[in-house]
Amino acid sequence: MAKSMEFPNKKKKYSEIIEPSTVTEFIAVPGMQGEQGIPGPKGDAGPQGPKGDKGNPGPQGPQGQKGERGLPGGTAESYDSPSKQYPGWAYYKSLNMEKIRVGPDRGNDDGWVDLFLKVDKSNSIETYLPKNSVSFVTDSARKINYKTFNVGAKVDIRYELEIETYSTNTEVWIRTFSVDDNSSTVGYLGNLKYRYTYDLSFCQTLYILNNTMKTFGGKPEIRSDSECSVVLKGIYIAVS
């Protein structure tokens, strides 16, 4: 009989594959970390590197010539008013509070009525009069005094008034008369609509045109187209 032989590629059983080997193997297992060792000594410092070369400075430019000395300054020219008028102002309060009747048929010149003022010296202000000036208003003259003003001076006047109207829509004008109509300053105060007692301020600006106007002075006057009564309570006058 023929002898039985194994097939060369005979497949092993799974149990044979996983059968434990008889050879003992040792597997390395990491242990606990040891303590840190003492640091070694510090090494010596290395040699210092060579210093770099210094750059050469650039050539110096030539010195400029000395400038010429400037001319000495002159005396400054001070500015003054063209009229050379010292500035100043004053206030004159009226001592007489009597009512002055005004209307189209009153006054001596086309309805213009004089506004005279008797000065209450204890309540007036003359502290700020211009240098070398006298009072702007005197009782005897009943006019504004321009005699100490220079020709070309500017004069600002503010009239403090109380006007009582007896009819509606009363129109009122004020002027500061001087010599003639050409040198007088006329202003329209307004149309007073109701029958009422009005407290009003009225301002005018005028200029001393010549010596004739300077000598004559200024005369306050008032005119209305209907009957009314006026009290001149005070006057502010400023010159510059």
The total of other beta-carbon atoms located within 10 Å of residue 193's CB is: 10
* Statement: residue 17 has pLDDT above 70: no
Q: Are 227 and 105 in contact (CB under 8 A)?
A: no
Q: How confident is the model at residue 20 (pLDDT cuts 50, 70, 90)?
A: low
Over residues 48-85, the pLDDT tens digits come to: 878 877 777 778 878 888 888 878 876 766 667 889 99
Percent of the chain with pLDDT over 90: 57
More confident of the two residues 73 and 138? 138
Distances (CA, A) of 235 to 93, 161, 176, 207, 231: 7, 9, 12, 17, 12
Question: Closest Cα partner for 195 from 173, 161, 168?
Answer: 168
What are the contacts of 179-182 at 24+ separation with CB within 8 A? 179/212, 179/213, 179/216
Q: How remote is the C-alpha of 97 from its chain's centroid? A: 41
Q: Which of 23-27, 29-33, 67-71, 169-173 has the lowest mean pLDDT?
A: 23-27
Question: Closest Cα partner for 165 from 94, 109, 225, 106?
Answer: 225
Tokens at 52, concatenated: 């770099």
Give the per-residue pLDDT at 1: 46
**CATH architecture of residue range(s) 88-239:** Sandwich (2.60)
pTM: 0.67
More confident of the two residues 55 and 117? 117
More confident of the two residues 161 and 21? 161
Question: Closest Cα partner for 150 from 210, 91, 90?
Answer: 210
Give the per-residue pLDDT at 218: 96
Rounded Cα distance between 136 and 158, Å, is 13
Give the per-residue pLDDT at 112: 95
Tokens at 55, concatenated: 């750059």
CA atoms within 13 A on the CB side of 231: 13
SS3 119: strand
Rounded Cα distance between 92 and 144, Å, is 11
Q: Which of 5-9, 125-129, 192-196 has the lowest mean pLDDT?
A: 5-9
Q: Average pLDDT over the chain, rounded to whole?
A: 86
- The whole-number average pLDDT for the span 22-32 is 61
More confident of the two residues 111 and 8? 111
Over residues 198-214, the pLDDT tens digits come to: 999 999 999 999 999 99
Domain locations along the chain:
88-239
* Statement: residue 43 has pLDDT above 90: no
DSSP sequence for 140-184: TTTEE--TTSPTT-EEEEEEEEEEEESSSSEEEEEEEEESEEEEE
* Statement: residue 2 has pLDDT above 50: no
Rounded Cα distance between 192 and 65, Å, is 81
DSSP secondary structure code for residue 202 in this structure: E
Amino acid at 171: E
Over residues 166-224, the pLDDT tens digits come to: 999 999 999 999 999 889 999 999 999 999 999 999 999 999 999 999 999 999 999 99
Question: Closest Cα partner for 145 from 165, 161, 130?
Answer: 130
More confident of the two residues 164 and 110? 164
